[in-house]
Amino acid sequence: MSSTPQLLFKNRKPGRTAFLKEYCKTGGYSALVKALKTMSPAEIVQLVKSSGLRGRGGAGFSTGLKWSFFPSDKPAPKYLVCNCDEMEPGTYKDGELLAADPHQLVEGMIISAYALNVDEGYIFIRYAYEGQFKKLQKAVAEAKKAGYLGKNILGSGFDFELHLHGSAGRYILGEETALLNGLEGKRPNPRLKPPFPAERGLFGRPTTVNNVETLANIPHIINGGSEWFKGLARNPEGAGTKLFGLSGHLNVTECFELPVGIPLSEVVEVYGGGVWKKRKFKACLPGGASTPYLIAEHMDIPLDFDTLAAAGSRFGTAGVTVFDDKTCMVAVTLNLLQFFARESCGWCTPCRDGLPLVCWLLEKIEKGQGTMGDLEMLKEQYRHICGRSFCALAEGAMGPLDGLMRLFEQEVIDHIEKGHCPF
């Protein structure tokens, strides 16, 4: 169990936070020194690309590839924005990371900014992460004092300013373009793409937006190299470790740093201590509320982006929420859909008006008032919402509905036929 190398959680100790002194003791800021003194920005981008690091915010896009599209030769200002608006139900890994070791993110951002030739950065933090906000404030102040932030960092001639910005607290702010609007002080509706943020982002300038965990991995890749990083994963296609936030009907619901490619069975049985109350595993959300369910037959699939996509789900944020066999999946889906309908920003019709209609149908079925026609209508709603909304929010909301229709159709029919919830 402790055989997994700990990168992101290496300084994590219960109840305390590693600040500058402790962070430096375990090699903190050595990657920054190495990057600034011995590597060119292009070399760093290439290294990250070859390391196989994929975005940890949920979409899983290659970080190096994303960076290679960034117009780093355009004149300043350009921005690096860290998305720490972690609000996906079942996901709390970034919060854990920042509470344990905030300097990792700061160092990661400085190196990334150097690689992208960006001189200003923002960390956009979730409303509820008040404690983490204060810890980051302290970390940024320490880094500034130590000369890691500001003008002419470590004599390299590279300048970087880092600002913190507290979110107003809506799920939509995790969508990168809505986040940029929020950061500009505007209403956080997503923006039309193209232009992509790399071309016209924050305040109309080239911007890249990365997740906390993604950026925190950068110093480790600089120090360890791309081959080492790749080798951390269990499966040959994977790379690195991943923070898994366990929740739901497990005996242990904590956050663990585990290798990418670890099978679901190991996560549930070894780290989660098995399903609670000696019940059986029924299903889980593998990567947050917007990922379609996995069931017992998926237990041996290595948990990674491509493998889960092949199984009809998504790796997402690796926030694993487990449901035991006494759980009504219609009720679970309704609960999740109510969250998404509530968090819709109200911009586009499929999301604003489509999701409440889905909720209404699920509620009817859950109450035992549904008909087979309602089931057909649900399927129709899924077809019309998927891929046709303005941003990915409604698409994500369709994840659990997709899982319900595909894996638990009989359970839905039971509700309709029995005229009540069978659980």
Which CB, 97 or 345, lies closer to other proteins?
345
Note whether 353 binds other proteins by CB under 8 A.
yes
Please compute, for residue 113, the number of CA atoms within 13 A of its CA located in the half-sphere on the CB side. 29
Which CB, 94 or 343, lies closer to other proteins?
343
Rounded CA-CA distance 353/419 in Å is 27
For residue 276, what are its two tokens? 């609670």
328 with 422: CB under 8 angstroms? yes
Contacts of 403 (CB under 8 A, 6+ apart): 283, 292, 293, 312, 313, 333
Note whether 347 binds other proteins by CB under 8 A.
yes
For residue 408, what are its two tokens? 């638990």
- What is the H or E stretch that residue 376 is in? helix 372-385
Which CB, 227 or 380, lies closer to other proteins?
380
Q: To 5 degrees, how large is the angle CA 349–CA 350–CA 356? A: 95
Note whether 245 binds other proteins by CB under 8 A.
no
Which CB, 270 or 357, lies closer to other proteins?
357
* Binders of other proteins in range 327-346 (CB under 8 A): 341-346
Note whether 388 binds other proteins by CB under 8 A.
yes
Least Cβ distance, residue 61 to other proteins (angstroms)? 20
Least Cβ distance, residue 392 to other proteins (angstroms)? 14
Site string for other proteins, 355-374 (x = CB under 8 A): -xx--x--------------
Least Cβ distance, residue 349 to other proteins (angstroms)? 5
Q: Which residue has the tokens 């969508």?
A: 175
Site string for other proteins, 163-202 (x = CB under 8 A): -------x-x--------------x----x----------
- What is the H or E stretch that residue 207 is in? strand 207-211
Residue 309 CB neighbours (<10 A): 12
Rounded CA-CA distance 401/408 in Å is 10
**Which residues are near other proteins by CB under 8 A?**
170, 172, 187, 192, 341-350, 352-354, 356-357, 360, 377, 380-381, 384, 388-390
